[in-house]
Structure 1
């Protein structure tokens, strides 16, 4: 659940006509990808770009959703990846986010202040949660009779390399017995 509860009154600071047209109504925001995300491996960094759409609705007392506006959202994140404790871990940072008013049923409005609040929200709430998840990491695939020792992940332009020493794990099998 989001700690932010959108309503037409609070959005009035960004869209002055909104609380006049739809006073004190809750809002719903539907966010969706408009294109497949782009992942790019560069020297020592991973870059991710996403094109999103965000449709805003006012929720009438009877539950009907009234369309208000649609935003085009362009985001760019970058991050680092590394291997530790047999896990692939990472962290991310927001490089850029651009909001553009794609369509509006409530008239035009300036995007600068709204874009700044969205950036601040992502940096204060979204990225810490994402980085906590990325910091937990995911386990690397295990081999039955070998362990990775001192694995190193290196990012290059267009590819990544994982190199490691290995330790052979002895089993209790006796190969001389039938």
Structure 2
């Protein structure tokens, strides 16, 4: 069994346009901080810091979004493994025996908890760690798959992942008997 879920390219492009607008706004915050001073507690330096933080965040999100555009599929589910390509910083191929549990979070997301050695075995550069941290504060224990930019329903995706995970657990248990 192989199930593939593709990206919704229109949503990605719309997201890139929004991020570009936010990046321009961040530059404006940095270059013209006086225009954003509203009360005695807001200072020019605070606005410039916010502008710098916005530039870093939005430019990294634009880069991440541009990197996933040419990918053919976002998620691939097979009997042996799950391939997560839904983000630039995704882990890629994850074998079912490395997944401890899955759960739904929020409206459009699935959290997949991985065994600890998976994170230790993978070398992740600082940029990817930054992106992982920005989307998942628990990034050393789990990964998050969001259906917001996928061409599928999150409930359908969750059922397919759980079905394949349970099927693999039964196969492993039967092989040990």
Question: Normalized against structure 1, the TM-score is what?
Answer: 0.28
Greater Rg by CA: 1
Query: Which gives a bigger RCO, structure 1 or 2 (Cα 8 Å, sep 6+)?
Result: 2
Question: Normalized against structure 2, the TM-score is what?
Answer: 0.28
Greater per-residue strand proportion: 1
